[in-house]
Structure 1
């Protein structure tokens, strides 16, 4: 089989700035700045992951486990401190609501902007524009500046653009929790359609019932390390402490 995503021994640390009172800062200074006003958070620790083309994978874990950080490395939003990440084919998806949108531009302009960021040509966007608008269900607002959009409208347009790029790898980070129930169902149906078409899917979600429905494999992370990688029902059971 063809490897769609290959993650090898990636590490990622963040510097966390700690709030201090004026008194604490003063003491820190007169002591010759001994001690730290910040600390390092080890978000990912030597993570290895291979995803085959056509697999549907859920990244699971409690808050702070590293799942969203790992997804951002796969998307290319973040670069690891060490290790490598490789993907095959067009990668698209929703990491954050409205990511890639410019608040002062209209929905129409943002379709072209976001589509270009995700790798579509102007000709491709022209061909798919009406389908994007129809799926997003925001026709009357398409020429309104997106700074006036609700989070649900952001979601609908961003999701619609992403799925119309015809990606080989589709990434979703907890984004389906936003929006009304009918649109969530529409998104899930589209994701299932992508999976049926042999696209690779990686999802981050706390909705264990949802990932059980749309994913075949679960990767459970804990404090930046992979604790389990196997069938989704086993991963969900471990998350639930069963």
Structure 2
């Protein structure tokens, strides 16, 4: 019996990109005057950016998977697909269980609301009931170390404070699958250490973690398995130390 919580089967994902069509400078000058006289609109080219190309992998319950690669490799797209923020053009995705995702800084948070109000807002977006948030509220606040700023609109928060609030809510929703993208890129060292400690507790509790980070030491400390992506393709899938060595040898 297949015990995989997550499966990607021939997953292909692309995005449309709109660009202004540029020609040689002399031609552009002529077209500017033509548009002024005729009110002719500029030509917009639509291009397709392929984020993932026929990606296949499985993640079992209790596995901790680190996904690494250069910017634009497709790492965050995989997290968004797992979290159902977006959907593939083709292929099949399975993600069973309660998913806690912290992918984009500030996503799910409202800048005009206070930290207190955003805990309830973000918790409800993640599928928590009010009673559950009430029960975990003090733990969330304690972990975030934002009690002093709890009734301040978060538009006045720093990026590090955003990260502390968002991660704290996700960490205490007790998900089956924890999906984290670059949470260690912001925040002070103390917060980063608390995040790593919390994620390690998830691993020991037989939870599944999908972790994207450019911090290779953090990936190595959390994850037992790694995937290296390049231009939407899986280059290597295996022991995290071996995957990191391949990345350092070929992409650093």
TM above 0.5, yes or no, is: yes
Work out which of the residue numbers 121, 125, 137 in structure 2 matches 1:113. 121
CA distance in structure 1 between the aligned counterparts of 2:53 and 2:30, rounded to whole angstroms: 32
**Preserved CA contact (<8 Å) 1:7 1:84:** yes
Partner of 1:101: 109
Largest Rg, 1 or 2? 2
CA distance in structure 2 between the aligned counterparts of 1:229 and 1:26, rounded to whole angstroms: 51
Partner of 1:179: 187
CA distance in structure 2 between the aligned counterparts of 1:175 and 1:136, rounded to whole angstroms: 13
Partner SS for 2:71: coil
CA distance in structure 1 between the aligned counterparts of 2:101 and 2:88, rounded to whole angstroms: 20
Work out which of the residue numbers 199, 202, 212 in structure 2 matches 1:191. 199
The count of corresponding residues between Structure 1 and Structure 2 is: 240
**Preserved CA contact (<8 Å) 1:13 1:44:** yes
Query: What is the TM-score with the length of structure 1 in the denominator?
Result: 0.93
The answer to whether the aligner puts 1:165 opposite 2:195 as a matched pair is no
Query: What is the TM-score with the length of structure 2 in the denominator?
Result: 0.89
Partner of 2:17: 16
Partner of 1:142: 150
CA distance in structure 2 between the aligned counterparts of 1:20 and 1:145, rounded to whole angstroms: 42
CA distance in structure 1 between the aligned counterparts of 2:137 and 2:183, rounded to whole angstroms: 22
**Contiguous gaps of at least 5 residues in structure 1:** none
After superposition, the Cα gap between the structure-2 partners of 1:235 and 1:37, relative to the gap in structure 1 and judged at 3 Å, is same
Q: 1:48-83, CA deviations, whole angstroms, 9 ceiling, x for partnerless residues?
A: 111000000011111111111111111111111111
Q: 1:203-227, CA deviations, whole angstroms, 9 ceiling, x for partnerless residues?
A: 1111111111110001111111111
RMSD: 2.3
Partner SS for 1:156: helix
